[in-house]
Structure 1
Amino acid sequence: MKKTTSIEVNDLRTAIEVVQAMPKQYHETNVEIDPKDDLAGVYRYIGAGGTVMRPTQVGPAVMFNNIKGYPSSRILVGLIASRERVATMLGAPVKELSKFMGKAVKNTIDPVMVDQSKALCQEIVYKATDPDFDLRKILPAPTNTPQDAGPFFCEGLVLGSDPETGHTDVTIHRLCVQSKYEISIFFALGRHIDIFRQKAEQAGKPLPVTINMGLDPAITIGSCFEAPTTPFGFDELKVAGGLRGKPIELVNAVTINQKSIARAEIVIEAEILPNVRVREDQNTNTGYAMPEFPGYTGPANPSLPLMKVKAITMRKNAIMQTLVGPGEEHVNLAGIPTEASIFNTIDAGIPGFLQNVYAHPSGGGKFLAILQVKKRSQADQGRERQAALMALGVYSELKQVILVDEDVDPFDTDDVLWAMTTRYQGDISTIFIPGVRCHQLDPSQDPAFDPKILGHGISTKTIFDCTVPYHLKSSFVRAQFKEVDPTPYMPEWMKNK
């Protein structure tokens, strides 16, 4: 796979080096910031983007070096909140990320174990058996808004194993700090680690897990693939190995029978307790959880599994990494693997037809996909809708698909809306598929919105066919301009393009 940087990325710090070399993509500040509400409130304006309430924008990653109440901590936000940064850190062309990720899924590399003496994540160890242990004083978990149920670890990769088979899974979940050694965990429907937890609970046993924070972005993004691309029993860490062309290093945890990601900045070792549930907002009574990717602050869950922390390990001068829930960072974490899954499936079924896929930020990387297709003959007429059905089938949380032709840039919303305006007729170009399971965090997918909806999280999926019928393509040719190099006329402007 083509390299676009000479820096070998193998952890968060080398990834930051890559971004530091990019113009206007990284910023550090020594001004004191409160992790309670203020940090997210500031970054909302600077670089959150996504479905965050306007005004917002896609801006640089920011390192806050002076955290109120935590003199030895620093927090990084927004590293993955830009496709350009993601592409550069992965060594991929920015508009080819879905294909690049798709190749990694086909060429996975298993992780390897390293000795604890070589594990950077265990340079410093805090054990819960210490009478002064309090995770709330060790780690500056932020709150995104004053309504949050409590402090959350927003970019913690949970690693757990099937208690019956030993298969390992990694996923990002909603983690709320509940006490000095307790964290609640929210599982969306069907998550593999929740299945592991249920198996352990049925046996009356806790499920040992590690929460890994501050990682090589290849690990974080690679973990966000979902079934059927990564079916039950598939270890997503193998995808990160495929992206890097070498195995991800794991190490045995210090206090539990589980593995940690050896080059993580911070690792929390914990056990999900059997038959214990907790109200998510028990400490604040706000009624809300935190801002989620659709752009709304979701309700606090009344009954969540609880994990008991056994230890915290970290690198020296560790970096806490976080994200703003509805921001562009979530869009890329969820969306780029979504694009890769869709591309691989459609290209295998209809080779050469699909040109590109974009999981649009307005859908949080999950709900809206724009498919760019190329009808090569009359025989391809109708395949565009088949491709849309395949996309809906391969990614169950996808709600809407917009189809455009090869002359429309799927990454340019104005161009997509132009296609919808001039190549779309609502009564014949819209396909509705009602009563399909989607995602529980979309508030419109509920009987309260429409009594015809049979349950929360069930949706009418929609295909918007904004492609030209093949036999009319000659009547829909865009104005063709002469190709002229503008560089001599605006050299400085072109240098930044």
Structure 2
Amino acid sequence: MSKKIDDLRSALELLKELDGQLIETDVEVNPEAELAGVYRYVGAGGTVMRPTKEGPAMIFNNVKGHPDAKVAIGVLASRKRVAALLDCPAEDLGKLLHKSLENPISPVVSEEKAKCQEVVHLATEEEFDIHKIIPAPTNTPDDAGPYITMGMCYATHPETGKSDVTIHRMCLQSKDEISIYFVPGARHIGAMAECAEKRGEHLPISISIGVDPAIEIGSCFEPPSTPLGYDELAIAGALRGEAVKLCRCLTVKQNAIANAEYVIEGEVVPNVRVQEDQNSHSGYAMPEFPGYTGPASNQCWMIKVKAVTHRKNPIMQTCIGPSEEHVSMAGIPTEASIYGMVEKAMPGKLQNVYCCSSGGGKYMAVLQFKKTVPSDEGRQRQAALLAFAAFGELKHIFLVDEDVDCFDMNDVLWAMNTRFQGDADIITIPGVRCHPLDPSNDPTCSPGIRDHGIACKTIFDCTVPFDQKQRFRRANFMEVDAEKWV
């Protein structure tokens, strides 16, 4: 990769050089549902309602109501694009992230003039209105309101002093208020807010939008890979080989990503919970990664905005919840977490991991396992159990042999149809906490489910028994260089 990538703009410049990976339009688009409606057809992919497809990223240069801003969508909605942006073969992305996780480079605070502070809007100004400053889209007509879907939330634990970055769903509520939803126990900044609330304190927070894709990917790691106190910006530093640069916020005691397109400065207010759809009364939040529009929460926390800063002619970055973009951001760190844990327990056995689109990057993983000696039989199932431990939101795991392409679900289903027997190769683990956004994880779907968010985790062992490997040899074609003919 010849170009150095350290922000969104340099990432987009690289994509412009790659055939079919970025398109722009000057046709006016309404950020209220229309923008997402367009991209659904162009390149969203993932679990978005059909028809959709995986396609190029897109820049909207003419956004209604925002003459000086652009909106970029789908930057990471392709594993091929992620690979190009991280300068890595697509099949090795999980391994690259695992290596970066093990060799972090901590962020640094720069005293230079920050690009993200070229233009400053203070909430104390009479004309201040976050809706007019940030072209945050609504993805569907049912959305609770305009959402920030690619905001890098950065905060510091009030007792330990450790900082962290995570992504949350945030809805613009008023001219200076944003609701933020914390999945209970799932994100570190939620724990920080709870600690601050117990102390009767506001939690200073910055929300950086439009950043280096390495930051967006690295921010999606979860425990146990990144325990409370691990700053995921250090993963992005490792991916780039240099520290992420931060700047000091202007109105709150917090740092932000210095070369972001937008930064929102604010405080999470203690002892305040807001209704997410208080303005639309739609009953819904926004489209989530499983492909359904989630219900509006009445337990959202509230951020009081103190300022918005941005670059000149800023680029708002957004994503469609169920798209291939979520698969890249959530799935590749999950692959890294699984690979790392299994590799430590049984080195050399796990060949690769894929958290596929149909699982939204969270619900399903395919593990490619190599049995080399008779005692390896059964260890593939141990690897699956370790994967469940490495990433608690996983629901289904498919185990395949090394001759199966784990990144090709047709090949995975071929293995299931020719190497799997339901009465012998299904391992169920009922009554385990999983993900609350899966609507089937509910007592109404099964009497064995005790509470919403509990699931039956299942292993589908599609590997060949070691002593029968000779019976299951794939057709052996001649190795040739096909370029002579095509």
Is 1:248 aligned to 2:244, yes or no? yes
Find the aligned partners of 2:129 and 2:142 in 1 and give their Cα distance: 23
CA displacement 1:211-239 (0-9 Å, x = unmatched): 11001000010010000000011111111
Is 1:206 aligned to 2:202, yes or no? yes
- Confirm or deny: 8 A CA contact 2:181 2:299 kept in the other structure: no
Compute the displacement of 1:276 (Å): 1.1
Find the aligned partners of 1:409 and 1:189 in 2 and give their Cα distance: 36
Compute the displacement of 1:302 (Å): 1.5
Compute the displacement of 1:69 (Å): 1.1
SS in 2 for 1:275: strand
Alignment of 1:325-404 (within 5 A): 325-404=321-400
Is 1:18 aligned to 2:8, yes or no? no
Find the aligned partners of 1:386 and 1:165 in 2 and give their Cα distance: 36
Find the aligned partners of 2:134 and 2:423 in 1 and give their Cα distance: 55
Q: How many residues align?
A: 485
Alignment of 1:113-262 (within 5 A): 113-115=109-111, 117-190=112-185, 191-262=187-258
Q: 1:481 aligns with which of 463, 477, 480?
A: 477
CA displacement 1:225-274 (0-9 Å, x = unmatched): 00000001111111111111100001110100000100111000011111
Question: Which residue in the other structure is 1:495 paired with?
Answer: none
Q: Read off the aligned partner of 1:145 and give its amino acid letter.
A: T
Compute the displacement of 1:448 (Å): 1.2
SS in 1 for 2:285: strand
CA displacement 1:280-301 (0-9 Å, x = unmatched): 0000110000000000001000
Find the aligned partners of 1:483 and 1:91 in 2 and give their Cα distance: 28
Question: Which residue in the other structure is 2:270 paired with?
Answer: 274
Find the aligned partners of 2:169 and 2:391 in 1 and give their Cα distance: 21
- Confirm or deny: 8 A CA contact 2:131 2:172 kept in the other structure: yes
- Confirm or deny: 8 A CA contact 2:428 2:458 kept in the other structure: yes
CA displacement 1:283-322 (0-9 Å, x = unmatched): 0110000000000001000221111100001111111000
CA displacement 1:393-450 (0-9 Å, x = unmatched): 1100011100000110011111000000000000100000000011110000011111
Q: Read off the aligned partner of 1:214 and give its amino acid letter.
A: G
Q: Read off the aligned partner of 1:163 and give its amino acid letter.
A: P
Q: Read off the aligned partner of 1:330 and give its amino acid letter.
A: H
SS in 1 for 2:98: helix
CA displacement 1:5-40 (0-9 Å, x = unmatched): 110111111111111111100101101000000010
SS in 1 for 2:482: coil
Find the aligned partners of 1:84 and 1:387 in 2 and give their Cα distance: 27
Question: Which residue in the other structure is 1:84 paired with?
Answer: 80
Q: Read off the aligned partner of 1:457 and give its amino acid letter.
A: G
Is 1:324 aligned to 2:316, yes or no? no
Find the aligned partners of 1:353 and 1:488 in 2 and give their Cα distance: 36
SS in 1 for 2:105: coil
TM-score computed with the length of structure 2 as normaliser: 0.99
Question: Which residue in the other structure is 1:494 paired with?
Answer: none
- Confirm or deny: 8 A CA contact 2:47 2:323 kept in the other structure: yes
Identity, in percent, stands at 57
SS in 2 for 1:198: helix
Alignment of 1:410-429 (within 5 A): 410-429=406-425
Find the aligned partners of 2:381 and 2:216 in 1 and give their Cα distance: 32
TM-score computed with the length of structure 1 as normaliser: 0.97
Compute the displacement of 1:451 (Å): 2.1
Is 1:301 aligned to 2:297, yes or no? yes
Is 1:69 aligned to 2:62, yes or no? no
Find the aligned partners of 1:118 and 1:406 in 2 and give their Cα distance: 51
SS in 2 for 1:487: helix
Q: 2:5 aligns with which of 5, 9, 12?
A: 9
Find the aligned partners of 1:313 and 1:451 in 2 and give their Cα distance: 51
Q: Which runs of 5 or more structure 2 residues have no equivalent in the other structure?
A: none
Q: Read off the aligned partner of 1:174 and give its amino acid letter.
A: R
Q: Structure 1: which 4+ aligned runs deviate by more than 3 Å?
A: none
Q: 1:96 aligns with which of 92, 97, 108?
A: 92
SS in 2 for 1:118: coil
SS in 2 for 1:357: strand
CA displacement 1:373-398 (0-9 Å, x = unmatched): 11111111111000000000110001
Q: Read off the aligned partner of 2:447 and give its amino acid letter.
A: P
Find the aligned partners of 1:94 and 1:22 in 2 and give their Cα distance: 15
Question: Which residue in the other structure is 2:40 paired with?
Answer: 44
Between 65-74 and 198-207, the greater mean CA deviation after superposition:
198-207
Cα RMSD, aligned residues only: 0.7
Q: 1:464 aligns with which of 452, 460, 463?
A: 460
SS in 1 for 2:10: helix
Find the aligned partners of 2:126 and 2:473 in 1 and give their Cα distance: 73
Find the aligned partners of 2:131 and 2:12 in 1 and give their Cα distance: 26
- Confirm or deny: 8 A CA contact 2:44 2:323 kept in the other structure: yes
Find the aligned partners of 2:8 and 2:300 in 1 and give their Cα distance: 31
Question: Which residue in the other structure is 1:430 paired with?
Answer: 426
